[in-house]
Each structure stands twice: as structure tokens, then as C-alpha cells.
Amino acid sequence: MASAVRKTEVENFHDRHTGGMSLLYADAYDPDDMMVHPRHQAMQPVLAQLIQQLRDCETAEAGVVFQRDLLAHLLDMEKDYDAFKRAAKRMRSGKAPRPEAPEPQSGRDLADAETWRFEQEVCARLARQLRSVGDALAWRVFGFHRPFILALCRNQSPGMMFGKAGLSAELERFERACKEDGAFALLHDLTNCLRIGDMTVWDGVHPPRTEEIKTNPKNSRSAQLRRINQARAAVLEGGPLPGDNASELLYDLDLPLRTHLDVLRDALERAATEGIYATPVPGSRVLFVFDQYACVQQGLSSEQFNERHQHAVDGALQRAGIAVSREDHNIYVTSLDSTARDPLRVPWANYPLHPVACARLIGDYAVATVETSGPVLTRLLQATGLDARWVRPPGKADLQQGEVIMEIHQQERLRSVTLPGGLTMTPGWTLQMRRSELDRYLMELLQPGTWAAGIKHVLAARQAGQPWPHYRNEHEIWV
């Protein structure tokens, strides 16, 4: 590809799909600079090849080979990241980069410290993209059983592998487990979603065992071991999830997961040909997709892009019945620059899509955004018999982590209590829906009936605290 979509075109898309509320990329660089960078473009076939290699893994030995290959790519990228970081620091202090520093490929001024910092950010972003494929491996080896991910993601991201003090000990333990013990081991540092412990081992007999590995075993931290034990107990024994809130529990919905991911697959295929595609999705949603390769191949000018985009979006919003409330009550989730940032999201490499389509989503050469209207979504739940109320105030502010957006109330009609003065009290339960649950409904394109049934299931259980629900049969959905 000779170039990416013009900045004005991409920014227009972003403003319409996120309300213009935040930078296009978290690193704050011009999107064109990042997308046309030779390293960034060269990563696309690497990602597609790794995804296909992962899907072809049929044995534990193949899974070990895959991890070694992914590790090599990741360490190479992080090594360059570290070198560019050191070079940028030297430049800011008036010194020249060391001779062994890698050559910048952006074409920017080598005498400018920001050139080296930009190269550093490109490497950091590509390392995240590689880790997203590691996330796909983690989901697969855990049998797509979401509770393992929900339990083991509850730590801060450990950061880069390159230069890590305990890396040699981890690799030694990894090789020993796979070669000598006859087990399968998964290196957590290859992922973003596994943040508790350093490695999980499967011996073919017992449940998977998560380990904390230290160069000196006497230095094992009791806090980390405690979190490992909490995660294990949460999944296998129904204990609280790791953390200080004992009311956070996994909750088995005992329901099959049903999605409209076929709509996403079709939309990506249409966008790969047409450049821009928008369609309503059952459940008061609209899916927007644009493909930068197709837009460039068609030679769309900014004006043509904007006109085609506006027409597609307006039509889809009208058909979905959420055009009127868009200004104040519509909210969005997007794939844009989200790869390996949120450990709760299913990695794109696990979506039932072609590896090339997955790679484009990971690299933001294809962008998918799902939009809904809060009040309209509330009415959809009310139609299923749920007493739902949208509590998020009008406006375009970003959704915050942990923000309550909807409340769903259920009264215990058979348990009315008579109070003094002729009053009657009916006990009830209120389920508060937060951002992560809405994100899942939108980005995973859950069928509305499945989603509503899950909410009813949680309410019927009358479980106090903060349940983290999960469906059955996810191994049938993800690849």
C-alpha cells in the first residue's frame, strides 16, 4: 500500500464514531505517520502468518513452537523499542545516539529527538499487536473458558519482556516443563490478558496450575502467591476474584452464547471492497466498518470519503431507529487502537474471521465501531419484561471504567411486607450495568435475546455483590 487514508478522512471518521472526544491514537501521533511507517506496514503479513500458525496448532509441541516464534518477534521488537528509547533520551540531553542504535525508518529528521521517540512509540504499538496474538493463544489453551481470563487479568500490565531480570529463569522453567516434565506451559509475558503469575502449566491430569517464577525461589512474594491462589479458587471453587472486594464473583449463566458475528464478517468483506460500509445490527445497534486499503485503492478524495461515509452512516442509523437520540444519548465502542489494551476484550485473532481480516483489525487498517442509543436499548430490555432505566446523563463524555450506565430493577412481588401505618414494602434487587458489560454486548455483537436472558438469569439468582457473568459454549464461537 502506497499510503494510508488522508488525515482529514481518518479524523472525520473518528470524530463521528467517538464524538471527537479523544485523540485518534493514545500515543498522540498523526495517524498517517503511524499507519504508513514501514515497520507498521511490514507487521501486517507477520500477524496474519502468526494467526494462521496458531490456528494450525493441533499438538502441544506445535503450541510450544508457536510460542518460541512469537517470543522471537516480540523480543526483537522490544529490543528496538529499548534502543530507540535510549537514543531519544541521549538526543534530549544533547548527545548523539549510540552507533548500535537501529536506523529510523520514518524518513524524519535524524537530528530531532522526536524522530527517535516516534520510532520508540511505533515499536511499542507493534509489541502490543504481537501480544494480542499471544492473548488469542491464552484464550485457546484455556478452552475459551472466560473465567480463567477474568481471574488472571486482575493486575497491572507487567510491561516489556526485553531486559526483564527474571526472563532467563522463566524461559528455563518453560523449556523444562515442556521437554522434561511432558507438560504444556504458557508464558504469560507473551500476552496482555494474563497478568497474575508468570506461567501456567497443564500436566494433562490436574487443572491448569499458575506459577510465580523467581531467579531465587526464596524471593517469592507472598502477595503474588496469594493472588495466584485467589484466581485459582475463584475459577475452581467459586471464591472471590483477586483483589480487595470479596463481593466480586464469577457467575455461570448456564446459557449458550449466541452472537451476530456473521454480520461483522460480512461487513468487513464489504468494506474491503467498497471502503466504507454501515449496517444496522439486531438489538438497537449500528455497525460501521471502514478499510483503509480499499479507500486508498479507490483513490477517494476527502470530499468523496466524507460524502460516502455520511450517506452510509445516516442510512444505517435511520434503519436501526437510533438516529434521533444520537446527539445526547448514543454511545460507541470501537476497535480503533484498542488492541491489547483492555484484557477483558476477546482478542481479534480469536474472532471467526480470516487471518488477514484479523490482522487488519489489530493494525487498524480496518476499523469497526458499534453504536447504540441508551434509551432505545433500555426500551428493548423493557419489551422483554425487564424494569430497565438508563442512568447515564446526556452528553458526549467518554465512558469511564466502572461507570454505571443502566440500572435494572426486579421486585419480589411474592414477598410483600406490611409496615405500620398501612404501608407495604416490596423487597427488590437492582442490577447495575457498567461499561465492560455494555462493551461486550456491542463489540461481541451478542444476540439481544441472549443478552436479556443473561440479565434475567443474574437477577433471578438474587446474588448480592458484583457478579462477573459468563456464558457456556464459548469454544463454539471463537477460533
Contact of 458 with 251, CB cutoff 8 Å: yes
Query: Does residue 290 belong to any structural domain of this protein?
Result: yes
CB 54 within 8 A of CB 62: no
Answer whether residue 341 is part of any domain. Answer: yes
User: What digits encode the pLDDT tens for the residues 394-422?
Assistant: 876 777 778 899 999 876 555 555 556 55
Find out whether 186 and 139 touch, Cβ atoms under 8 Å.
Answer: no
171 class by beta-carbon count within 10 Å (0-12 exposed, 13-18 middle, 19+ buried): middle
C-alpha cell of residue 148: 480463567
Banded model confidence at residue 465, pLDDT cuts 50, 70, 90: confident
pLDDT at 217: 64
| Domain tally, the chain | 1
Does 15 have pLDDT greater than 90?
Answer: no
| 168, burial (CB in 10 Å: exposed 0-12, middle 13-18, buried 19+) | exposed
Q: Take residue 326 and report the three cell numbers written for it.
A: 444520537
Task: For residues 175 and 434, give the distance between their C-alpha atoms in angstroms, rounded to a whole number.
Answer: 41
Are the C-beta atoms of residues 132 and 339 closer than 8 Å to each other? yes
Buried b (16+ CB within 10 A) or exposed e, 357-396: bbbbbbbbbbbbbbbbbbbbbbebbeeeebbbebebeeee
Between CA 176 and CA 169 the distance in angstroms is 11
pLDDT digit string (tens) for 381-394?
Answer: 999 999 999 999 88
Q: How many CB atoms are located within 10 Å of the residue 116 CB?
A: 25
With respect to residue 453, please indicate whether it lies within any of the assigned structural domains.
Answer: no
* 253: its cell numbers: 449463566
pLDDT band at 139 (very low <50, low <70, confident <90, very high): very high
Domain presence at residue 43: no
216-243 pLDDT, tens digit per residue, is 666 667 888 999 999 999 999 999 999 9
Mean pLDDT value across the chain: 88
Of the candidates 472, 430, 440, the residue with the CA atom closest to the CA atom of residue 253: 472
C-alpha to C-alpha distance for 198 and 191, rounded to whole angstroms:
10
Cβ(404)–Cβ(466) below 8 Å: no
**E strands present in 356-445:** 366-373, 387-390, 404-411, 417-419, 423-425, 428-434
Domain, as residue range, for 287 = 261-446
What is d(CA 342, CA 336) in angstroms, rounded to the nearest whole number?
Answer: 12
Question: Is the per-residue pLDDT at 31 higher than 70?
Answer: no
- Judge whether 235 lies within some domain: no
CA dihedral 253, 256, 261, 262 (to 10 degrees): -160
When mean pLDDT is compared across 201-205, 309-313, 349-353, 419-423, the lowest value belongs to: 419-423
Position 401 scores a pLDDT of 77
Q: Could you give the count of Cα atoms lying within 13 Å of 281 in the half-sphere of its Cβ?
A: 32
Residue 9: pLDDT band (50, 70, 90) is very low
Look at residue 151 and tell me if it is in a domain.
Answer: no
* Residue 304 neighbours by CB under 8 Å, 6+ apart: none
Predicted pLDDT of residue 427: 53
7, containing H or E segment: helix 7-18
Residue 240 DSSP class: B
Give the Cα separation of 16 and 371 in Å (integer).
11
Domain annotation covers residue 104 = no
Residue 248 burial class via C-beta count within 10 angstroms: exposed 0-12, middle 13-18, buried 19 and up: middle
| Rounded Cα distance, 43 and 80, in Å | 14
- pLDDT of 6 reads 31
Which of 128, 166, 135, 126 has its CA nearest to residue 67? 135
pLDDT for the residue numbered 78: 97
pLDDT in tens, 250-278: 999 999 999 999 999 999 999 999 999 99
Task: For 364, list phi and psi in degrees, rounded to 5.
Answer: 70, 20
Whose cell is 494480542? That residue is 132
pLDDT in tens, 288-339: 999 999 999 989 888 888 899 889 999 999 999 998 877 788 898 999 999 9
- Is-contact 232 217, C-beta < 8 A? no
Please write the tens of the pLDDT for every residue from 427-458. 567 899 988 899 999 999 999 999 999 999 99
Q: Is residue 200 part of a domain?
A: no
Closest alpha carbon to 278 in 304, 317, 307, 305:
317
